[in-house]
Structure 1
Amino acid sequence: MTDSEEQVSVAWDAPTERPEGSSGSVVIIGGGPAGLTAAYELGKLNPALKVTVLEGSNQVGGIARTEEYKGYRFDIGGHRFFTKVKEVDDLWHEVCGEEFLLRPRMSRIYYRSKFYDYPLRPFNALRTIGAYETVRIALSYVKWQVRPHPIEENFEQWVMNRFGGRLFQHFFRTYTEKVWGIPCAEIRADWAEQRIKNLSLKKAVLSAFTAKNDSTSLIEEFRYPRLGPGMMWEMFRDRIVERGQTVRMNSEVVRILNDGKKVSAVEVRENGKAHPSTCVVEGSEFISSMPLRDLVRAMDPSAPESVKKAAEHLKYRDFLIVVLILDHADPFADNWIYVHSPEQRVGRIQNFRAWSPDLVPEPGKSSIGMEYFCDTGSELWDSDDAHLIALATKELEELGLARPGSVVDGTVIRQEKAYPVYDRDYRAALAEIRAWIEGFENLQVVGRNGMHRYNNQDHSMLTAMLAARNILGESHDLWDVNVERSYHEEFQVGGQRGEPAKAERQ
């Protein structure tokens, strides 16, 4: 245990007999990338400010944490560190330093018993899919360029207008429906706008020939902490604690006390002990990265009925990862493989040594992550670990990625609320909740689940950095932070809500 971990533990283990907090203190709900970035930014810009981070689990990092099993460390979601937001990139390097590795990217798609390079390499695709099908894909692309869907309300329409119907059927529909568990026609186009906005077939082909691109989906190398993404967030936590701020683990926020205009305190359940107890933490400003639905449910007094109903329309996709230990090293070179074939239930496969050699403690073995997308309470989710390890082993062998009998051990991690769902109901529900939250004078929401927006780490961090600066007197509309805008414009500070901000350099 590090010194900073001891400080965190001692800070929480100290008995609490009365409400804590004072005027001028900031309470941050959630110790993921967004919550920790907000705390770090506040401590950096105003060291005298009292900041308390409340994390419900025993690990920081949220879905970007690093899990460990018998010395094997693994990334539960495959977290690349890549951004065009200079301030975010600077922050990563400032905290992680020499532990921040530059890693080559190799990934493929498995479909119809064949592997395809991804990003697209035309000659590989032509050789793999065949000349006849390539011509059909090209003709389909031309057709949808000439006569596109007149509206783009859902994911299917959005993709077909940019890639054609044939390519959509081959490389988008099966995998997307495996991930989300609903038809592509029920997924809002907003998801594509946020995740793959500047990607098209034309751009992908040009990128393959020129090796130049501006899409995060096509980058050829990325940064990665030596011991996994959780290493970054553990280092953020340590820096925060070293500055005298507080990070409380096993501290689940169960009630948010408010008068309809301001939040005054949160009630925290201590989960780390045999008999959970609660305490109250007061503050003058609050930043929340907890799931938006849970935030609404926790309000006391309750949110208006219309807001509570809207919150119940917000849905999340869960997933689990089965980590398999193999008795030989480097079964394949990819960082990850997307499995589009419906015959296998696995959606994505991680090869952890390819992310960082130090994730695997034994040079003669390998660690493979089999990711399954599902819902809490489903048959897959409720399966026992032995069954899931057997399923993952069978599918890894079916794909030809491991020889029979090479799996010698395994473990399972389940992750609730991994991805906010962009279904037919989410947009209206989110608008209702957002309007209500904006009525609070001292509550801001940040991050992926905090805003119910499927964003990357850098986007989550950017919303958190701006939320911190709002507390210190600036005025930024966090909902106006757009992934693509943040990639192509300078980080902006100092503006008014709803207005362009003046670019400043620190």
Structure 2
Amino acid sequence: MVDGFGAAQAESREYDVDVAIIGAGPAGLTAGYLLSKQGLKVAIIEKDTRYVGGISRTVEHEGYRFDIGGHRFFSKSQQVVDLWNEILPDDFIQRPRMSRIYYEGRFYSYPLRAFEALRNLGIWRSTTCMASYGLAKLFPIREVKSFEDWTSNQFGKKLYSIFFKTYTEKVWGMPCNEMSADWAAQRIKGLSLGAAVLDGLKRSLGLNKRPNDGMATKTLLETFRYPRQGPGMMWEAARDKVIAAGSHVLMGHAMKQLASDGQGGWRLSATRADDGGETMIRARHAISSAPMRELAARLHPLPQTTLEASRLKYRDFLTVALKIRSEDLFPDNWIYIHDSKVKVGRIQNFRSWSPEMVPDESVACVGLEYFCFEGDDLWASTDEGLIELAKKEMAILGLVNPDDVIGGAVVRQEKAYPVYDDEYAANVAAMRGELEERFPTLHMVGRNGMHRYNNQDHAMMTAMLTVENILAGERVYDIWCVNEDAEYHEAGDEGAQKAIPTRPGHREPTPDQAAALASVRDVPGKVSASGRKAA
């Protein structure tokens, strides 16, 4: 059996623990680490045979390291920042933040610099943007249903078509008028992609004389922290700490069934990749960061809302990493490609994340990100075909001479993004309502576990609050509050939010519950799954 570091063990393939955890991503490992700290025994299963961290893992190929999607370590939550520092105290570096948008052969700073955008767009197009914005404010869409409706109301049809439509449809593989407005409200709130251009226009007409540095009204962070060798360092350290505490991280284990034992506990069976055998885990609580659709299909008894869960959709993701004979290509962490001539959606520069990601100073390494559905033409392409496509598209964009490419690699990521179509919210609500009522010891966490486009820090917070609930013996905190009304995660001050978020009407712990939680944290040794010290 492979456990944690890959060492062969002679122990049984059965485990009796306090908490079974499905998935060794940020949410699963955060929960496992915090529960282990309190003396609870956990077993975490992970389908991947080599890497922990989920979409936040770092993949290594011939000494080159690839961040899957790009992960800036920034959070407004002080609890999350403190946990990062606790798990990985000595391996953060401070990095400059730089991102640009590529549109019609020109680069735009991100967030937009007003006068740069005006110059690139030209006076006629800028004027039509202003007119379009004015019309949107005078005659807004009253019944906002879609991403297109929401964004057009915020910025006008013209800016929507320039800076949102093409890129968003690449990411999600569906028309913007079929996407839920929830995604825009969650991910764009507080950003001023359009406002920067409009602000510049107003100034040029003498309508706005307030001081301005030329940036968008709400600027994003200019630097961020990052693990020296990628985000996977964080989750490998968390895994090691879980194992050191006497718990288990079982690699190459895919969930087969999660069955209620009829007494409030769970039996989790997993299929092993090494020999095809089965591992059984018995636990009082189960935490799932698996996609809600997969969880519903593998639960026993089968939920009544399995049909609703089966309608949930996911967007998959490819990174094509190219090694290029060049000291560097561009200073950006990544470039957003708003160009319909190519399929690539975003291009990362791994050295800009950390110099230690790229071992050869004479070689640049970039990652072209392609958004797709599992099984479609892109996903089914060979690695060689995808590398050739990436070389061709870099040449079309004018960024690389294909003759300078000296190698490449492909990383596939299933279910990278939960899709926000027009029925997702009802399907999630139906499944959540049933499972919370029928199974109070089953907890859904993380991006896919909750079918919510959470960032890494949000996923961690859902796990942190779930741990508090397990220790308290009841659902004291509603984890669905996390990221519900948050402004964009890269705006504002790190650690500015000191308290665990709750919403009006949500119960704080009673004095008895708070005392119980405090006693659990202060007293070493094992505690039960209800949060009480073992007799």
> TM-score normalised to the size of structure 1?
0.91
Q: Aligned partner of 1:419: which letter?
A: Y
| Residue in structure 2 matching 1:154, options 146, 161, 165 | 146
How much is the aligned-residue C-alpha RMSD, in angstroms? 2.5
User: Is 1:27 aligned to 2:24, yes or no?
Assistant: no
Structure 1 residues 495 and 219: alpha-carbon distance in aligned structure 2, compared to 1, 3 A threshold: closer
> Structure 2 vs 1, CA of residues 14 and 124 (structure 1 numbering), >3 Å: closer, same or farther?
farther
Partners of 1:331 and 1:30 in 2: CA distance? 36
Write the distance in 2 (CA, Å) between the matches of 1:166 and 1:502: 52
Aligned to 2:458: 459
Alignment CA distance shift 1:222-1:203 (3 Å): farther
Amino acid at match of 1:339: I
For structure 1, which segment, 372-381 or 491-500, has the greater mean C-alpha deviation from structure 2 after superposition?
491-500
Q: Give the superposition deviation at 1:98.
A: 2.7
The equivalent of 2:204 in structure 1 is none
Structure 2: how far apart are the matches of 1:320 and 1:417?
Answer: 11
Distance 1:342 1:404 in 2: 20
Whether 1:36 and 2:29 are equivalent positions in the alignment is yes
Cα distance between partner residues in 2 of 1:406 and 1:147: 52
Counterpart for residue 491 of structure 1: 499
Establish whether residue 168 from structure 1 lines up as the match of residue 160 from structure 2: yes
User: Could you tell me the TM-score, scaled by structure 2's length?
Assistant: 0.86
Identity of aligned residues (%): 46
Letter of the 2:471 partner, please give it. L
Which of residues 235, 238, 241 in structure 2 aligns to 1:239?
241
1:223 positional shift: 1.5
Quick one: distance in 1 between partners of 2:261 and 2:456? 33
1:14 to 1, 10, 17: 10
Establish whether residue 325 from structure 1 lines up as the match of residue 323 from structure 2: yes
Cα contact 1:289–1:448 (8 A) shared by 2: yes
Q: How far apart, CA to CA, are the structure 2 residues paired with 1:422 and 1:495?
A: 23
Contact 1:197 1:484 (C-alpha < 8 Å) held by counterparts: no
Compute the displacement of 1:136 (Å).
1.4
1:255 to 2:266 alignment: no
1:220 corresponds to which residue? 222
Q: Distance in 2 between matches of 1:459 and 1:7?
A: 25
- Match of 1:400? 398
Mapped to 2, the partners of 1:153 and 1:256 lie a distance apart of 36
Conserved 8 A contact 2:16-2:282? yes
- Does the 8 A contact of 1:319 with 1:374 survive in 2? yes
Change over 3 Å in CA distance of 1:35–1:121 after alignment to 2: same
With over 3 angstroms needed to count, the CA separation of the structure-2 counterparts of 1:201 and 1:250, relative to structure 1, is: closer
Aligned-pair CA distance for 1:126: 1.5
How do residues 79-478 of structure 1 correspond to structure 2 at under 5 angstroms? 79-201=71-193, 204=196, 209=213, 218-258=220-260, 262-271=264-273, 273=274, 275-304=275-304, 307-439=305-437, 440-473=439-472, 475-478=476-479
Q: Does structure 1 retain, via aligned residues, the 8 Å contact 2:113–2:214? A: no
**Offset at 1:329?**
1.6
Q: Distance in 1 between matches of 2:300 and 2:352?
A: 48
Displacement after TM superposition at 1:459 (Å): 0.5
- Give the aligned length: 490
> CA 1:183 to 1:261, structure 2 compared with 1: closer, same or farther past 3 Å?
farther
Change (3 A) 1:225 1:153: same
Output the CA distance in 1 between the equivalents of 2:270 and 2:288: 14
CA distance in 1, matches of 2:212, 2:262: 54
Task: Give me the whole-angstrom Cα distance separating, in 2, the residues matched to 1:27 and 1:391.
Answer: 42
Q: For 1:318-337, what per-residue CA distance to the aligned partner results, in whole angstroms no more than 9, with x for missing partners?
A: 01111100011211111101
- Is the contact between residue 196 and residue 216 of structure 2 (CA under 8 Å) also seen in structure 1? no
Alpha-carbon deviation of 1:152?
2.0
Alpha-carbon shift at residue 105 of structure 1 (Å) = 1.1
In structure 2, give the amino acid aligned to 1:140.
Answer: S
When residues 496 and 163 of structure 1 are mapped into structure 2, their CA distance, relative to the original with a 3 A threshold, is closer
Secondary structure of 1:287's counterpart equals strand
The 8 Å contact of residues 446 and 464 in structure 1, kept in 2 or not, is answered as yes
Distance 1:296 1:6, change over 3 A: closer
Superposed displacement of residue 190, structure 1: 0.8
In structure 2, relative to structure 1, the CA distance for the partners of 1:130 and 1:141 (3 Å cut) is: same
